[in-house]
Amino acid sequence: MQRQESFSKPFFYDITLRDGNQSLKKPWSLDEKLFIFDKIISLGIKAIELGFPASSQMDFECCQTLANKAPEDVLVSVLARAHKNDIDRAIEAVKTAKKPRIHTFITLSPFHMEYVLMKKPQDVAQIALDAVEYTKKRLIEENMPVNIEFSVEHFGDCRENLDFVIEVLQKIVEKGATTINLPNTVERTRPKVFIDMLKKVKQALPENVIISVHNHNDLGMATATTVEAFFEGALQLECCLNGLGERAGNTDFTQVAVALHNNGIDTGIDLEQIYETSLIISQMSKVKIYEKAPLIGPEALAHRSGIHQDGAIKTKDMNFGAYRPIHPSLIGRYDDEKIGFTSQSGKTAIYDILKALKYPITIQESVNLTPYAKQLAETKGELTTDEILQLYFDKICDIKGTFELISFKPIEKGVFDLFFNFKGERKEVIGKGNGPMDACLNGLKKLGFEVNLSHYKQYSLDGDTKGSGARAMTMISVLDKNNNEIIGRAIDTSTAQANVKAIFNALNQLY
Ligand code: KIV
Ligand code: ZN
């Protein structure tokens, strides 16, 4: 990954409490806003739009309380339409803040001026200029810093009158605006079209004016537009936690922060807090994180195709994953990459799932189990872990065939009576040996069924559980006539029975 040394830190301007809040079915109360405000600050975000004081008494009071509480290194802003009452209300709401800002706006889009404001462009421009001039005057009267953001609402729709917009913005800067925000209020075109417009505005304005973007996500490209805007000189990025906002929402903060990080930018954000914060915001906004939401969606770490599963498992603990953009711990996400078994999956998934369930399995056994799992998944869809486990018990630990164990009982110390069917024919033999396994192998040998054990292992499947319920697994390896290794497994609460069953399991593969 290349480092882009020449770029300054992005200035994240959080709009969760204003643009996000205004889109909620139940806007947040003061207590809720206070809680979220703290979360935003602890993420390391240094600019927060608190609300729209003129919209309601409740929002005014929220803005006032939060402004009062804001730490001195956090800029707090409030929204005001471009008229005196809103501006007065906004100033009243933030005047106790250590770093206050007034954010005023009006549209300059031809469509909006004609059909929504029903005003001529020159008249709208005058309203904008007057609003900024008035804000500056009032801020000075109140002994407040002159920090004014002006937004061209529907900037994205100003393609045909961009020269006019630029002229107005130049005057607006002269009147005192310090940040010029370019909202893509409704996303209708390509990110590139927007970026080209932004570049023209940037070139036309003095260097010290901060260019900001505020992209809505109607076509799902808000993150792309915002990230590219940063690389074209927009320093202020207006983002919302969980991409909340009107319609399809605003630009998602997480996506932008992580994308910039992945492109070598120091975001100044405590990325590790992102995941937990997103879960909290989802709960508090009652807006679910959709399954496939990038980075934070429940499915964002799921792999179902065999090829992806193989790559994901091989690179699981690496920082750079084969099929994920970041190591999830970067954003404080600690659930494992999910490996789901479907008809598209393969042996690596079976192996990984059973291993995660703490059931021993070899790669060869997963290869053997895969066709059964695929066949089941073709009709059922994704298999549950219980279904996979059941297949493991049936097809790996209890292989049926020409041998069928009926009973294996001790007669006296070191002597056992073995009953079984071979190709449907009843067989009985007395086996003697050094323990049950040896006795069983000797008994079988007497009848001409030789089993050459090359490996033997016992597992306790239920951890430290003691007593009659605890299950033991026996795994044996035997060599067939071509010297191929065959594994016989079996599970039983009696170790002796597990041993004998494992031998029969192997026999059914040998014969
Ligand atoms: O989407 C928008 O245009 C806005 C402005 C008020 C900045 O939210
Ligand atoms: Zn907006």
Please report the beta strands in 271-343, taking only residues with DSSP state E, as ranges in sequence order. 302-303, 338-339
Note whether 387 and 424 are same-domain residues: no
pTM, two decimal places? 0.90
Specify the CATH number for the domain of residue 84. Answer: 3.20.20.70
Domain boundary among 362, 395, 428: 395
CA 223, CA 212: separation in Å to the nearest integer? 14
The residue whose C-alpha atom lies closest to atom 2 belonging to ligand 1 is 185
Note whether 113 and 233 are same-domain residues: yes
Dihedral-angle region of residue 141 (phi above 0 means left; psi in -120 to 50 means alpha; beta otherwise) = alpha
Residue 366 pLDDT: 96
Specify the CATH number for the domain of residue 434. Answer: 3.30.160.270
Considering only CA atoms, give the Rg of the chain.
34
CA 236, CA 225: separation in Å to the nearest integer? 13
Note whether 242 and 333 are same-domain residues: no
293 within domain boundaries: no
CA 281, CA 240: separation in Å to the nearest integer? 10
CA 158, CA 124: separation in Å to the nearest integer? 14
Cβ atoms within 10 Å, residue 375: 12
The whole domain housing 490 covers 403-510
* Residue among 194, 216, 225 whose CB has most ligand 1 atoms within 8 A, to mutate: 216
Classified as helix, coil or strand, 403 is strand
288 within domain boundaries: no
202 within domain boundaries: yes
Query: What is the β-pairing status of strands 415-422 and 425-432?
Result: antiparallel
Residue 33 pLDDT: 97
Tell me the average confidence (pLDDT) per consecutive run of 10 residues in the chain, 511 residues long: 63 98 96 98 98 95 98 98 98 98 98 98 98 98 98 98 98 98 97 98 98 98 98 98 98 98 97 98 98 97 96 94 97 94 96 95 95 97 97 96 96 95 96 94 94 90 69 92 90 94 95 85
347 within domain boundaries: yes
CA 498, CA 493: separation in Å to the nearest integer? 8
Provide the domain count of the chain. Answer: 3
Note whether 247 and 354 are same-domain residues: no
Ligand nearest to the CA of 212: 1
Classified as helix, coil or strand, 236 is strand
Per the CB < 8 A criterion, the answer to whether 229 and 198 are in contact is yes
Ligand nearest to the CA of 52: 1
Note whether 197 and 245 are same-domain residues: yes
Domain boundary among 225, 244, 269: 269
CA 138, CA 34: separation in Å to the nearest integer? 27
Give residue 438 CA to ligand 2 midpoint distance, Å.
78
Element spanning 377, H or E: helix 363-380
Closest atom, ligand 1, to C-alpha of 19: 8
Domain boundary among 365, 395, 425: 395
Tokens of 212: 């900001």
137 within domain boundaries: yes
Note whether 127 and 156 are same-domain residues: yes
Give residue 52 CA to ligand 2 midpoint distance, Å.
12
Closest CA to 152 of 218, 104, 203: 104
What residues are in contact with ligand 1 under a 6 Å CB criterion? 19, 105, 151, 153, 181, 183, 185, 214, 216
Note whether 94 and 238 are same-domain residues: yes
289 within domain boundaries: no
Note whether 34 and 79 are same-domain residues: yes
CA 49, CA 131: separation in Å to the nearest integer? 19
Note whether 41 and 69 are same-domain residues: yes
Note whether 254 and 343 are same-domain residues: no
Note whether 67 and 117 are same-domain residues: yes
292 within domain boundaries: no
Residue labelled with tokens 């449907």: 424
Residue labelled with tokens 């009973």: 407
Output the DSSP codes for 423-462: TTEEEEEEEE-SSHHHHHHHHHHHTT----EEEEEEEETT
The residue whose C-alpha atom lies closest to atom 8 belonging to ligand 1 is 19
412 within domain boundaries: yes
Note whether 391 and 474 are same-domain residues: no
Classified as helix, coil or strand, 362 is coil
Residue 18 pLDDT: 98
The residue whose C-alpha atom lies closest to atom 1 belonging to ligand 1 is 185
